[in-house]
Structure 1
Amino acid sequence: MASHIETSIILLSLVLFSLCKPSFSAGIAIYWGQNTDEGTLTETCATGNYQFVNIAFLSTFGSGSTPALNLAGHCDPNNNGCTGLSTDIKSCQGQGIKVLLSLGGGAGSYSLSSADDATQVASYLWNNFLGGQSGSRPLGDAVLDGIDFDIEAGSGQFWDNLANALKRFNQNLNLAAAPQCPFPDAHLDKAIQTGQFDFVWVQFYNNPQCQYVDNANNLLAAWNQWTSSPAKQVFLGLPASPAAAPSGGFIPADVLTSQVLPSIKSSAKYGGIMIWNRFADKQNGYSNSIKASV
């Protein structure tokens, strides 16, 4: 009888331990919205390959400009043509996928002129894409899971104010950032230092000094710098094909899984892989090749 009691206690302890362990498992984030040949948002999520989808981009905002989406031909926001994406977004979320709106990009017209401007942009984002209320929501009535900062132009000023203002609306709102791999990032360092960012998917491409070039030495050195930042989780951002990053950084799937992932997965902040972008991934099958190892 005693042995049965001891066995029961051990089993109960194991069950309680398993319930207390963190539930997060590493995943893949993808950017969608910049090529009509990438397929629909619903099709993207239906692959089962992604845990995060960044809708790219809100490319115009701030400094008194009228905010504007650029989804590269998927729909025309000027005639409310993108509101139908609400169904796609809800479909993705129904599969447990977090859908974020990405701000900026490499070819946008955006800036923040002051802390007050940042607060106004935060209010616009909250009311038009997140949990607030607006009579004109560009993506329909779906409530996005968060905001991604892909800031590649202008100064590094006031992005910290924007991050703080968004979190004041809802502390559980997901904030992501996509800095370049040279550490610290010229545009987003002050924002990341706030500690408000849940996911930081670092762009380890188009930056020869910290991307994979014949070996992973420079990449791993930069990775270690990024994991020392206040980011809650750090993702390795990679192009899905050589064409997706003209200045380099593509890592063949077999090299990634054998030479890079074993080194970075030991980090307590490792969150997974970010892929640029859905079109290149669809063409090249990159996420299919790596998802079992992420």
Structure 2
Amino acid sequence: MRQYWKFINLATATTTIAALLAVSSVHAGSFLDKPSIVTYWGQNSKGLSNSQKSLASYCDDNSDVLIMSFVLSFRDGSLPILNLANGCNGPAFSGTELLECTSVAADIKTCQDKGKTILMSLGGANGVYGFANDADAESFADTLWNIFGAGESDTRPFGDAIIDGFDLDIEGGGSTGYVAMIKRLRKHFATDSSKDYFITGAPQCPYPDAMLGTVLDAVEFDAVNVQFYNNYCSTTSNSFNFDTWNAWAKSSPNSDVKVFLGVPGSSTAAGSGYVAFGSLVPIVKELKSTYSNFGGVTLWDASASYGNTDVSPNYQASVANLVHGLPNAGTEGGGTKTNSQHKTTSKTKHHQTTTKTKHHTTTKTSREGSVSTKHRTSSTRSATKTRSPKSTSTSSTSAKSVSKTTSLKSTSSHSKPTHGNTTKTKTTKSKITKSKRKTTASETSKSTISRNKTTKSTSRNHTTSKSKYTTGKPKPTKTLTSTPEPNTGAPTACVSHASKCPTEGQMVCSGDSFAACNYGKWVVRECPSTLTCFSTTDGTSIYCGQGISGTTCPAALKNRLIEGATLLTATNTKQKSPFVGPTAKPYKNGRVIAQFSVTKLNAAGSFEAVINARRLDQTSFGSTITVSFKVANGIKITGVTDGTVSQTGNQVKVQYKNHSRKTMVAIVNIEGKVYTGNVLVAPNANSMKFSS
């Protein structure tokens, strides 16, 4: 008998030890503890019926965090709409539009068991949402906790699965209530010590963000997935402003908040801003070595990044290997800190069941072996309809209300519309034919960041930032070092006016001026009065526009130009010198805020540009959005994707077909021509008007 009990005790002890080991690995650390990969899922930005796989399909070594998108059409404590494109077809709970997603529930548990963090994103490009006051926002926080968190409800889309927090991708509708909502969510998080919860945000790169700017300054976020695309401050432009966001992080309510580099997963996943892998490598390495708040890379979205085979085996895996191979110690401040919001936990139960409604609580393992602490997250994108393999998807277009059985495709605020045709400019003089868009492959740069030509992609609405332009100067943007491509790159050293230049026809910015390589020598010219110089978002050319100039060259080197942060001194030794890029002035009135950015400009004068508009009120754009503006002499607008354009003299009228029944965001892709002898000048922000 004693031998029997010894055997039982030994078995019990073995089981207990195994359970304790499992718990220790579950709480081993979070995605905030070292460079990580965040992947959005649920909007099928690639747009084919089979291009978005199940959530569990992406819970591999190439993602640390998966953000499901989107929850939309919320205004108070009532039930919202859930749109996961073809990821969930319902049915809807009786008497509601909220889908029940049984297969996704199982996938959430599977992913959490593998140590992945699963967040739910709120907002996105489609739908009309927002709050009238703090009370409505707090009521909605209660609803979120009850239907997605550890609360109780008869209408839980994912059954007993409990997500790990929320992401705010607020693309329109203003900022009212979100501070109160986050504070209320954190109070709910504190009632469940069995796991870590996170709040993340997805601001657009123009600083401060038009919707989340005041929110980010008022409450603690664990991470921000900054959208460095569809805007003038894209990763490969001279206005790339990661430095500005890192400075915000250090002065924010949570000084340890991580800043993620948000990029499109393919050239068709956003209207602009895709970075070829070879060009991304040096950028990511430099960000990691320069900024201690750098958190990793965020990809929009899984269908695009996993399906992008520009690099083998795919873009997602390549970026993940890059990020996971980074050293885990920053240079700024001497190393990576543990997020201040982490709360050490030591629960012994891996799955916890609550009364009335069963919830599946799973803790997460990280690649590190350190103890995790409590975090909170928030991020968002947009919802849309899934299309057949024939059609080209557009993640920021037509997202209709989710019905009980309709399979939806992503209407993300990240992609450019590709489902329609680009129409010609109507003029009273001549007929202009539509020009074909030419996709160029980016070449890999050598040891420092290169600028590459990018393909125009489906328009994601990550649009304008919250503007303080009328009340104060925005923080300047610091741009990283750049090694040029053979024929399009900028110089790595300041050069004197009339000195030799490497590539005929090359154009680069120099403060408010720009320089052109003409017959082997630099010719420096000023932008028109009150304007400053911007690089195209692909970094290969320039244009002039309204904004605050950057210190592209040191003040002592007047009439010289520099691109990047590496300055060759008189002794020909390299030293770091700050490079501050220009900040664009947005168009803004009481209802709409918009940014205009030129994505590419070729030697023949043909250009592509993006108008990124967001509503500040909680009202949808109509089925047709009319944008009117005035262009400079020598500029012709020749086409618009999914719309028509007419031009009389300098006055342009664009009519854009809005394929989404309800949306507070519009990404309008236009084409044009700059005639010989003229510099491309962006439309005057004060002349731009919207109606629908």
TM > 0.5 fold call: yes
Q: Deviations over 1:120-157 (max 9, x none)?
A: 10000001000111122012210000000010011111
Change (3 A) 1:130 1:63: closer
Say which of 50, 56, 66 aligns to 2:63: 50
Shift of 1:264: 4.1
Aligned to 2:74: 61
State the match for 1:211 in structure 2: 234
Match of residue 496 from structure 2: none
Q: Which residue is 2:41 aligned to?
A: 32
When residues 190 and 43 of structure 1 are mapped into structure 2, their CA distance, relative to the original with a 3 A threshold, is same
* CA separation of 1:217 and 1:264: change in aligned 2, threshold 3 A: farther
Q: Distance in 2 between matches of 1:126 and 1:65?
A: 13
Tell me the CA shift for residue 219 of structure 1. 3.6
- The change in CA–CA distance for 1:269 and 1:224 in structure 2 (over 3 A counts) is closer
Distance 1:119 1:63 in 2: 8
TM-score (norm 1): 0.85
Partners of 2:240 and 2:319 in 1: CA distance: 21
* Per-residue deviation, 1:225: 4.0
Q: In 2, Cα distance between the equivalents of 1:38 and 1:265?
A: 34
Q: Distance in 1 between matches of 2:242 and 2:132?
A: 36
**Aligned pairs (5 A) from 1:194-209:** 194-208=218-232
Partner of 2:621: none
Distance 1:229 1:139, change over 3 A: farther
The percentage of counterpart residues that share the same residue type is 36
| 8 Å CA contact 2:52, 2:303 repeated in 1 | yes
The match for 2:87 among 74, 78, 82 is 74
What are the residue-to-residue correspondences of 1:233-248 with 2, within 5 Å?
233-246=258-271, 248=272
Distance 1:272 1:254 in 2: 17
Distance 1:265 1:76, change over 3 A: farther
C-alpha RMSD over aligned residues:
2.1
Equivalent residue number for residue 292 of structure 1? 321
Q: Distance in 1 between matches of 2:260 and 2:307?
A: 22
More deviation in 156-165 or 252-261?
252-261
Change (3 A) 1:186 1:86: same
Structure 2 residue aligned with 1:92: 111
Give the deviation of 1:73 after TM superposition: 2.5
Name the structure 2 match of 1:258.
Answer: 282
Question: For 1:273 and 1:104, how far apart are their aligned partners in 2?
Answer: 21
Matched, 1:283 2:321: no
Unaligned runs of 5+ in 2: 1-27, 94-98, 191-195, 309-313, 324-692
Greater strand proportion: 2
Instruction: Look up the equivalent residue of 2:263 and give its one-letter code.
Output: L
Alignment partner, residue 4 of structure 1: none
**Residue type at the aligned position of 1:89:** I
1:212 Cα shift? 2.4
Cα distance in 2 for partners of 1:264, 1:183 equals: 21
Q: Shift of residue 256 of structure 1?
A: 1.2
Quote the residue 1:12 is aligned against. none
Equivalence map 1:119-138=2 (5 Å): 119-138=138-157
- TM-score normalized by the length of structure 2: 0.37
1:4-15 correspondence runs (5 A)? none
Change (3 A) 1:190 1:217: closer
SS at match of 2:290: coil
Whole-angstrom CA distance in 1 between matches of 2:128 and 2:69: 14
Contact 1:239 1:275 in 2 (8 A): yes
Deviation at residue 279 of structure 1 after TM alignment: 0.8
Matched to 1:227, the amino acid is A
In structure 2, distance between residues paired with 1:95 and 1:194: 34
**Shift in Å at residue 60 of structure 1?**
1.7
The answer on whether the counterparts of 1:183 and 1:226 sit within 8 Å (CA) in structure 2 is no
Distance 2:77 2:108 in 1: 29
Q: How far does residue 192 in structure 1 lie from its aligned partner after superposition? A: 1.4
Q: Is the 8 A contact 2:265 2:305 kept in 1?
A: yes
State the partner residue of 1:6.
none
8 Å contact from structure 2 (residues 52, 86) kept in 1: no
Deviation at 1:49, TM superposition (A): 0.7
| Alpha-carbon separation, structure 1, partners of 2:58 and 2:284 | 26
Distance (Å, rounded) in 1 between the aligned partners of 2:178 and 2:289: 29
CA contact (8 A) 1:167 1:196 kept: no
The answer for the alignment partner of 1:155 in structure 2 is 174
Gaps of 5+ in 1: 1-18
Cross-structure match for 1:105: 124
* 1:217 Cα deviation after fit: 5.2
| Maintained 8 Å contact 1:33/1:71 | yes
* Secondary structure of residue in 1 paired with 2:136: helix
Task: Give the structure with the larger helix fraction.
Answer: 1
Provide the C-alpha distance between the structure 2 equivalents of 1:226 and 1:249, rounded to a whole number of angstroms.
22
Residue deviations 1:92-132 (CA, integer Å, cap 9, x gap): 00111100010000112211111000111000000100011
1:43-80 deviation line (CA, Å, top 9, x unaligned): 011x3111111110001211476411011122234155
**Counterpart of 2:270 in structure 1: which amino acid?**
A
AA aligned to 2:156 is R
Which protein shows a greater Rg? 2
Residues 169-188 of structure 1 mapped to structure 2, 5 A cutoff? 169-171=188-190, 172-188=196-212
